[in-house]
Structure 1
Amino acid sequence: MLLTEYFAKVIVMTLLKFNNIKLITKYTYFYQKKINCLN
Protein backbone atom coordinates (compact mmCIF):
# COMPACT_ATOMS: atom_id res chain seq x y z
CA MET A 1 0.00 0.00 0.00
CA LEU A 2 1.22 3.45 -0.86
CA LEU A 3 1.92 5.88 1.95
CA THR A 4 -0.43 8.43 0.38
CA GLU A 5 -3.18 5.80 0.30
CA TYR A 6 -2.60 5.14 4.00
CA PHE A 7 -2.84 8.83 4.85
CA ALA A 8 -5.94 9.19 2.68
CA LYS A 9 -7.63 6.38 4.60
CA VAL A 10 -6.62 7.86 7.96
CA ILE A 11 -8.00 11.26 6.98
CA VAL A 12 -11.25 9.77 5.66
CA MET A 13 -11.70 7.70 8.83
CA THR A 14 -11.07 10.81 10.95
CA LEU A 15 -13.62 12.81 8.96
CA LEU A 16 -16.13 9.95 9.22
CA LYS A 17 -15.81 10.13 13.00
CA PHE A 18 -17.03 13.71 12.81
CA ASN A 19 -19.66 12.78 10.20
CA ASN A 20 -18.49 15.65 8.02
CA ILE A 21 -19.82 14.57 4.63
CA LYS A 22 -19.06 17.90 2.93
CA LEU A 23 -15.39 17.70 3.94
CA ILE A 24 -15.17 14.07 2.81
CA THR A 25 -16.61 14.98 -0.59
CA LYS A 26 -14.23 17.92 -0.98
CA TYR A 27 -11.23 15.85 0.11
CA THR A 28 -12.12 12.92 -2.16
CA TYR A 29 -12.49 15.27 -5.13
CA PHE A 30 -9.16 16.95 -4.35
CA TYR A 31 -7.40 13.63 -3.83
CA GLN A 32 -8.72 12.20 -7.10
CA LYS A 33 -7.51 15.31 -8.94
CA LYS A 34 -4.05 14.82 -7.42
CA ILE A 35 -3.96 11.17 -8.51
CA ASN A 36 -5.04 12.12 -12.03
CA CYS A 37 -2.16 14.61 -12.21
CA LEU A 38 0.32 11.92 -11.13
CA ASN A 39 -0.89 9.36 -13.67
Structure 2
Amino acid sequence: MTIDDDNSIYVGGLPYDATEESVRRAFDLYGAVVAVK
Protein backbone atom coordinates (compact mmCIF):
# COMPACT_ATOMS: atom_id res chain seq x y z
CA MET A 1 0.00 0.00 0.00
CA THR A 2 1.25 3.49 -0.74
CA ILE A 3 0.24 6.74 0.83
CA ASP A 4 -1.12 9.30 -1.63
CA ASP A 5 0.58 12.66 -1.04
CA ASP A 6 -2.62 14.44 -2.07
CA ASN A 7 -4.33 12.97 0.99
CA SER A 8 -1.57 13.71 3.49
CA ILE A 9 -1.44 16.43 6.11
CA TYR A 10 1.31 17.79 8.32
CA VAL A 11 0.37 18.49 11.93
CA GLY A 12 2.92 20.53 13.85
CA GLY A 13 3.02 21.61 17.45
CA LEU A 14 2.10 18.24 18.90
CA PRO A 15 3.36 17.59 22.41
CA TYR A 16 6.48 15.42 22.64
CA ASP A 17 4.51 12.72 24.44
CA ALA A 18 1.74 12.51 21.81
CA THR A 19 1.16 8.89 20.85
CA GLU A 20 0.10 7.39 17.55
CA GLU A 21 -3.12 6.28 19.22
CA SER A 22 -3.97 9.80 20.45
CA VAL A 23 -3.36 11.25 16.98
CA ARG A 24 -5.51 8.53 15.39
CA ARG A 25 -8.34 9.20 17.86
CA ALA A 26 -8.22 12.94 17.20
CA PHE A 27 -8.31 12.65 13.40
CA ASP A 28 -10.43 9.52 12.97
CA LEU A 29 -13.50 11.75 13.29
CA TYR A 30 -12.65 13.19 9.86
CA GLY A 31 -11.86 9.98 7.98
CA ALA A 32 -9.70 6.90 7.95
CA VAL A 33 -6.17 7.41 9.25
CA VAL A 34 -3.87 5.25 7.14
CA ALA A 35 -0.52 6.10 8.71
CA VAL A 36 1.01 8.26 11.42
CA LYS A 37 4.69 9.15 11.10
Whether these two folds match at TM > 0.5 is no
Q: Which has the higher helix share?
A: 1
Q: Higher RCO, 1 or 2 (CA under 8 Å, sep at least 6)?
A: 2
With normalisation by structure 1, the TM-score equals 0.31
